[in-house]
Structure 1
Amino acid sequence: GDWEVSQPVLGGDGRTFYFVCNREWPGDFEVCSVDRDGGAVREITGLDGVENFALSPDGSELLVRHSDSYLPPQLAALTVGGEGLTGLTDTRTPEFKARSWVQPEYVQVPSSHGAGTIWGKYYGPQTLEPGREYPIVLFVHGAGYLQNVSDRYPNYFREQMFHNLLVQDGYIVLDLDYRASEGYGRDWRTDIYRQMGHPELEDYLDGLAWLGEHKQGDVDRAGIYGGSYGGFMAFMALFREPGTFKAGAALRPVTDWSQYNHEYTSNILNTPELDPEAYAKSSPLEYADGLEDHLLIAHGMIDNNVFYKDSVMLAQKLIELRKDDWELASYPMERHGFVHPDSWYDEYRRIYELFEKTLK
Structure 2
Amino acid sequence: MKVASFGRVAAILSVASLALVACNGDDNGTDDNDTDANGVENGADDNGGASADLSGNLSGAGASSFQLAIQEWQIEFEAEHGTPVDYDAVGSGDGRANFLNGAVSFAGSDALMSDDEYAESQERCGDDGAFHIPTAILPIAVGFNLDGVDELNLDGETIAAIFAGEITSWDDEAIAEHNDGVDLPSTPITVVHRQDSSGTTENFTDYLEQATDTWTWEADSEWPGDISAETGDGTSGVIEAALSTDGTITYADAEQAVQGGLSTVAVEIGGDYVPFSPEAAGQAVASSDLRGGQADNDLGFDLARDIDEEGAYPIVQVAYTIWCNEYSDAGEAELAQAFAEYIVSEEAQQIAADQAGAAPLNEDLISQAQESISQITGG
Q: Which has the higher strand share?
A: 1
TM-score interval, smaller chain: under 0.3
Q: TM-score, normalised by structure 2?
A: 0.22
Point out which structure has higher relative CO (alpha carbons under 8 A, 6+ apart).
Answer: 2
